[in-house]
């Protein structure tokens, strides 16, 4: 049986000292030992407050981790080989050059902070933010 001790808000579990005669003597000592452990734990509330376990259909890290994909052009990482001098090939990823940029949105009369690739930035400079966002199907009013 593990015994819990609380010190300064930290909960740690450790095994209580049991002599060999007491541990192997009878079932009554095991029952009294369980009663001792539960009486020690009676004042401690152990709860698991994990919000992502409440709905098992949604993955827990989807909203936390930003993907390395440009929303305007759809560019994403490319798989490539890293070739050494001895022609030994190892797999590597070539990521997209994503940048956080504040771009003036003329229709909304405000700046919009976007995470986009440098290729999309050049396309926006050439065609305009409204045209590129409309082609990509992005609603800028939400951002």
- The CATH number given to whatever domain includes residue 120 is 2.30.170.40
- The answer to whether residue 97 is domain-embedded is yes
Parent domain of 129: 78-136
Q: Is 80 exceeded by the pLDDT of residue 119?
A: yes
Instruction: Answer for the pair 41, 4: CB distance below 8 angstroms, yes or no.
Output: yes
- The answer to whether residue 2 is domain-embedded is no
> According to the model, what pLDDT value does residue 48 have?
52
Banded pLDDT at 42 (limits 50, 70, 90): low
In terms of average pLDDT, the best of 2-11, 28-37, 133-142 is 133-142
Instruction: Answer for the pair 28, 77: CB distance below 8 angstroms, yes or no.
Output: no
Long-range contacts of the stretch 41-47 (C-beta < 8 A, 24+):
41/4, 44/4, 44/6, 44/11, 46/11
- The answer to whether residue 131 is domain-embedded is yes
- The answer to whether residue 120 is domain-embedded is yes
Q: Is 80 exceeded by the pLDDT of residue 143?
A: no
> According to the model, what pLDDT value does residue 132 have?
94
Number of domains, the chain: 1
Instruction: Answer for the pair 96, 90: CB distance below 8 angstroms, yes or no.
Output: no
> According to the model, what pLDDT value does residue 129 have?
94
Q: What is the mean pLDDT of residues 78-94?
A: 97
Banded pLDDT at 40 (limits 50, 70, 90): low
- The answer to whether residue 46 is domain-embedded is no
Q: Is 60 exceeded by the pLDDT of residue 41?
A: no
> Cα–Cα distance between 58 and 52 in angstroms, integer?
8
- The answer to whether residue 92 is domain-embedded is yes
Q: Is 60 exceeded by the pLDDT of residue 101?
A: yes
- The answer to whether residue 69 is domain-embedded is no
> According to the model, what pLDDT value does residue 4 have?
52
Q: What is the mean pLDDT of residues 125-142?
A: 92
> According to the model, what pLDDT value does residue 20 have?
56
- The answer to whether residue 64 is domain-embedded is no
């Amino acid at each position: 049986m593990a015994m819990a001790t609380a010190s300064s808000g930290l909960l740690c579990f450790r095994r209580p000292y049991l002599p060999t005669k007491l541990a192997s003597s009878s079932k009554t000592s095991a029952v009294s030992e369980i009663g001792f452990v539960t009486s020690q734990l009676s004042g401690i509330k152990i709860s698991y407050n994990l919000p992502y376990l409440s709905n098992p259909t949604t993955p827990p890290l989807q909203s936390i981790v930003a993907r390395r994909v440009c929303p305007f052009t759809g560019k994403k990482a490319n798989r490539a080989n890293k070739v050494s001098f001895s022609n030994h090939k190892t797999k590597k990823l070539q990521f997209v050059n994503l940048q956080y940029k504040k771009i003036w949105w003329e229709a909304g009369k405000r700046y919009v902070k976007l995470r986009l690739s440098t290729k999309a930035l050049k396309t926006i400079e050439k065609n305009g933010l409204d045209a590129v966002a409309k082609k990509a199907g992005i609603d800028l009013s939400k951002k």
